[in-house]
Amino acid sequence: MFASVFAALCGCVNVDKQTAPTPARYWKAPKEALPSKVIEPEQIKTDKILNSDTAASEDGKASAEKPASAAEKMLAGVPLDLSELLDIALENNTQTRSYWFQSKAYAAAVGKAQSAYYPQVSVSMDVYRGKTHPSLAYFGNLAVGSYYETGYGPSAQINWLLYDFGKRESQINSAREALRAANFDYNQVIQDVALSVNVAYYSYYEAVGGVKSALMNIEDAKTAYESAKARLDEGVGNKQDMLNALANLRNAEFSLETAKASVETARANLANALGVRVGGTFKVSDEVKIPDSPQTSQKIDDLIAMAMRSRQTLLASYAQLRKTQSDIETARRDFLPQIGASATASYVSYTAKERGDQYAYQGGLTASWSLFEGFARKYELISAKAKERAQAQALKAAEIQIISDIWTYYHNYQSAVKQVESSQAAIDASQEAFNATKVGYENGVNSITDFLNAQYRLAQARQQKVSAQAGLCKSIAQLAHATGALTATVAPEDLPYIGEDKKKN
């Protein structure tokens, strides 16, 4: 008992009891580490967390004061198109909010760095009670009586760094470049969210197309089964053909249920990309057209040049490189002296009437120069230079990755265009083959195996077309994202490379 109290008072922590017992065992959280109540996603707003009643009332008030937004359409069960889904994502996605607040923190760091140019002012109020035993230097040290006194009064102090050979300026530049990098990262997150919504949306379209293909496949399987059953009833067929056709129909029904489950999975993934909960009212329009993109009509070298000027991750890497260069300047300025000014003032009043009030003030200039600190500043400079070189390598890696992405998605797009054309031709050919094989089977020329194979190839061609169209839409979005042009918040004419191209034309 006493040992535990002593350990608690000393601030000691038993590490073995505060973590999992072994690397293979699950950590059992204590009750106080668990949330006392569940916070619904709708309660977490950008600037505050609402209780459940307030969240419901604010949602109702907002819907009564303004026209229906994309989020309100979603709650009303209205099917949403891609643009509305992007609006919802940018309003609710947690990544954009997280990076936005991080940018604000970096902005505050810039203000903190700029505060070094201002004087530091402090005031205090002191009250003391003391006992004095003075000595009188008269015929030696002759002690006199002791007495108590109480004094009180204010004091003020001002310190102002006047000149430090550019150290503060380099610190501000470092903080400013860190802020710019954070803002570029925030912009990139918006583009990443837009890409994830696009990919999730076209994946949903692919899943819905799979259901439609499965339904058409069931109709073709029914046709095959009815043809086999009719031949059996007419005495010209056999039971094995009818059973094979029936088994094929049941397999088609099984594939339909699998496709329906894929739709719900795709719906959940899309809701997750939006940052909202999935539910029965979350409906998405399945009317999709292949998007237009200026990037698909340009040469790959031009796309790479565009990305080098507008890809936000790359701009963030440049800002980080400039930050490390400013940190090097800061480390160099640490070797130089500092010049400042200081002033102090104090006033003391005593409760004893025989004591007069006391005051004092002084001011002057100060110069300080740290000559030796155990080589700490030397190692700080070495560290800053190493970080600059590491960031330069990170910049190089980012450029290589961007070039690789554009190369990949550009050729994916070229291949996807041909796949869409080929899949449509395959559907046309498979449909004709299915019709011909059906007639041939009914006339006894083809077997049931030929008929079912033709029906399978037709179903496969339909699914391939849906996948090819979804792949084409995804490749367009991925290519735009790789060049830094996929965003729902920047007008196309504001993008740097498009504006430059217009001037050239």
In 3D space, the residue among 351, 381, 394 whose CA is nearest the CA of residue 150 turns out to be 351
Q: What's the CA gap between 465 and 474, in Å, rounded?
A: 14
Q: Which residue has the tokens 């967390």?
A: 49
Question: Which residues share a beta bridge with 342?
Answer: 159, 364
Domain positions in the chain are 105-119+166-337+373-504
Provide CB contacts within 8 A for 96, sequence distance 6+: 90, 186, 189, 190, 193
Q: What's the CA gap between 348 and 286, in Å, rounded?
A: 81
Q: Please state which CATH class domain 105-119+166-337+373-504 belongs to.
A: mainly alpha
Q: What's the CA gap between 310 and 303, in Å, rounded?
A: 10
Q: What is the pLDDT of residues 318-336, one digit of tens each?
A: 999 999 999 999 999 999 9
Length of the chain in terms of residues written: 505
Q: What's the CA gap between 483 and 303, in Å, rounded?
A: 6
What per-residue confidence (pLDDT) applies to 86? Answer: 87
What per-residue confidence (pLDDT) applies to 247? Answer: 93
Kindly state the DSSP code that residue 119 receives in the 8-state scheme: P
How is residue 394 written in tokens? Answer: 């990170």
pTM, two decimals, is 0.75
pLDDT, tens digit only, all 505 positions of the chain: 444 444 444 444 454 554 546 544 545 656 655 556 655 666 656 666 567 666 556 555 554 555 467 777 777 778 888 888 888 888 888 888 888 889 889 999 999 999 999 999 999 999 988 877 766 554 455 555 677 788 889 999 999 999 999 999 999 999 999 999 998 898 898 889 999 999 999 999 999 999 999 999 999 999 999 988 898 888 887 888 899 999 999 999 999 999 999 999 999 999 998 888 888 778 888 777 777 767 777 788 888 888 888 888 988 999 999 999 999 999 999 999 999 999 999 999 988 777 778 889 999 999 999 998 889 999 999 999 999 999 999 989 999 999 999 999 999 999 999 999 999 999 999 999 999 998 998 888 888 899 899 989 999 999 999 999 999 999 999 999 998 887 644 444 444 433 344 444 3
Walk across the sheet containing 358-368 and list its strands: 120-132, 147-163, 338-350, 358-368
In 3D space, the residue among 64, 84, 86 whose CA is nearest the CA of residue 74 turns out to be 84
What per-residue confidence (pLDDT) applies to 344? Answer: 95
What per-residue confidence (pLDDT) applies to 276? Answer: 84
What per-residue confidence (pLDDT) applies to 369? Answer: 93
Q: What's the CA gap between 336 and 339, in Å, rounded?
A: 10
What per-residue confidence (pLDDT) applies to 134? Answer: 66
What per-residue confidence (pLDDT) applies to 57? Answer: 60
User: What per-residue string of b and e applies to 259-296 under the rule 16 or more CB within 10 Å gives b?
Assistant: beebbeebbebbbebbbbeeeeebebbeebeeeebebb
Tell me the C-alpha to C-alpha distance, in Å, between residue 426 and each of 203, 423, 432, 473: 22, 5, 10, 20
Count of CB atoms situated within 10 Å of the CB of 242: 21
In 3D space, the residue among 483, 320, 308 whose CA is nearest the CA of residue 392 turns out to be 320
Long-range contacts of range 401-409, CB-CB < 8 Å, 24 or more positions apart?
Answer: 402/304, 402/307, 402/308, 402/311, 402/313, 402/314, 402/482, 403/304, 403/307, 405/478, 405/482, 406/300, 406/303, 406/304, 406/307, 406/479, 406/482, 406/483, 407/300, 409/475, 409/478, 409/479, 409/482
Angle (CA) 228 233 239, round 5°:
55
Q: What is the pLDDT of residues 387-425, one digit of tens each?
A: 999 999 998 999 999 999 999 999 999 999 999 999 999
Cα distance between the two ends of the chain: 84
